[in-house]
Structure 1
Amino acid sequence: MALIVGVTGGIGSGKSALTRYLEARGITVVDADVVAREVVEPGQPALAAIAEHFGQAILQADGTLDRAALRQKVFADPAQRRWLEELTHPLIGAAIQAQLAASRSAYTVLSSPLLLEGSQALLTELVVVVDVPPELQLERTMARDNNDEAQVKRIMAAQLDRQARLAKADIVIDNSGTLEDLEQQAEALHQRLLEKAKAEA
């Protein structure tokens, strides 16, 4: 199995900007958020179970999941969140493992906001944390997602706190500067991971 590197960070930290850079260098990125969307696409058993549990109003007119409505329900009620996680997490886990196994790049990235919360970190050999101060996280997420401050704070509160995340990092990427700063760090990371992958091959 080739080198698998976990990339995580709180909402709005810039994980995606980092992984897009690595992807542009030919690295396979398995994105847990993308996989999570795929398992609830129309025609998938998980979507039928969600509609049955929460009612048809959780679906949009085209039959796809109304993610914003679902997010409001599960972040407001821990029991509903647990129900959803018990349904989707095993499906997401199986799909992630299949995609990691299929990767043929020099090393493979598993990008996940919940990498350190559950068992996903066990799939990786190294953990990279993209870090920004909480106030910047809040500002960037509100600007990007058009979410109100209270909603973003609820999502941040549901994620691992910053100190705990940093304590589990093998490598920290500081993304409090410009995109150019981030790309310089991304290139250095890429070279370091290529060398590590080569040494282990």
Structure 2
Amino acid sequence: MLRVGLTGGIGAGKSTVARALAGLGAVVVDADVLAREVVARGTPGLAAVVERFGPGVLTPAGDLDRPALGRRVFADPEARAALNAVVHPLVAARRAELVAAAPADAVVVEDVPLLVETGAAAGLPLVVVVEAPAAERVRRLVEDRGMDEADARARLAAQATDAERRAAADVLLPNPRRPAGEPDPLPGLVEALWRDRLLPFEANLRAGRPAARGPVPERDPGWAAAGERARARIARVAGERALEVRHTGPTAAPGRRAPDVIDVEVLVGDLATAGAVADDLRAAGLVRRPAPPGAGEVLASSADPGRAVDCRLRPVPPR
């Protein structure tokens, strides 16, 4: 199984990409759908929301009045944080149930609007971000969804910036407004992503094999961001077992020419811990590979055909 995070600012076209991936065979877990489910009439989630915000966020029929609640929270960071504290744990628990129920060979796309804002991106092996200019997103919200412009702008302001989402993105899918009559390139981009990256990534993970590496460029301005994504994913899996996790090697040195491989070094207390962490790194998209005899370290490499990552897990003697 491969878990993929899908996100993007409101109005960017994330739902369009999710539907396209579902049509190609992905198992899509939609956090927006779950967010409605966990605060449906009669649920503990709805009771908690009403306790915090009062009965004014209910319709006469007793359902959650989402527009009324939205007006309360999108202009008030403290109120938004309070709502998130109620809803996010409930959504996360339900999402985990659905992921666990997916087939072993599934590509599970977790459609999460606030993936970056909640810091959850490092918990997924691959993050896809759908991007559109802010002005176009506002236009879509106003013209297509009938939203008040001030409300639309408030919702954009409440979310992560484009720069923050790009830093989290392993794949960036542009979805700007296109001139009338021009074909939409987005479906083709999604199909290529599915065929050339997601399916091979899942197959490599399931087989326990690193991705094959072909010709690569010698310079890449994205090394620093890619290195931080890899480091954060590995650190999240290693947890307290790691003494240190760092992006090393030529790609960690600005301006240097280097093979297009992100090197990450993990320092642990002993060789057994190194092996245990390496086995767990499948959750970060890496698989264990043989180390040379007597190497005294454990190796793992990325199963992602779109980004080469090598990880050395090295015991260090106690001081």
The TM-score with structure 1 as length reference comes to 0.93
Match of 2:191 among 178, 181, 187: 187
Structure 1 segment 85-164 matched on structure 2, within 5 A: 85-104=84-103, 106-164=106-164
- 8 Å CA contact 2:50, 2:57 repeated in 1: yes
1:35-69 CA-partner distances (Å, limit 9, x unpaired): 11111001110111222332323111222100000
Residue 179 of structure 1, CA deviation: 7.0
Q: RMSD of the alignment, in Å? A: 1.5
Residue 12 of structure 1, CA deviation: 0.5
Residue 72 of structure 1, CA deviation: 0.5
The aligned counterpart of 1:197 is 202
Structure with higher helix content = 1
Residues 1:98 and 1:122: Cα distance change in structure 2 (over 3 Å): farther
The aligned counterpart of 1:40 is 39
The 3-state SS of whatever aligns with 2:130 is strand
Which 5+ residue runs of structure 2 have no aligned equivalent? 207-319
Residue 153 of structure 1, CA deviation: 1.0
- 8 Å CA contact 2:5, 2:111 repeated in 1: yes
The aligned counterpart of 1:168 is 168
Identity rate of aligned residues, in percent?
Answer: 43
What is the number of residues matched between the two proteins?
Answer: 200
Whole-Å Cα distance in 1 between the matches of residues 78 and 93 of structure 2? 24
Whole-Å Cα distance in 2 between the matches of residues 45 and 179 of structure 1? 46
The TM-score with structure 2 as length reference comes to 0.60
Whole-Å Cα distance in 2 between the matches of residues 62 and 108 of structure 1? 35
Whole-Å Cα distance in 1 between the matches of residues 99 and 57 of structure 2? 31
Residues 1:26 and 1:134: Cα distance change in structure 2 (over 3 Å): same
The 3-state SS of whatever aligns with 1:71 is helix
Whole-Å Cα distance in 2 between the matches of residues 81 and 19 of structure 1? 25
The 3-state SS of whatever aligns with 1:180 is coil
- 8 Å CA contact 1:110, 1:124 repeated in 2: no
Structure with higher strand content = 2
- 8 Å CA contact 2:29, 2:110 repeated in 1: yes
- 8 Å CA contact 2:116, 2:164 repeated in 1: no
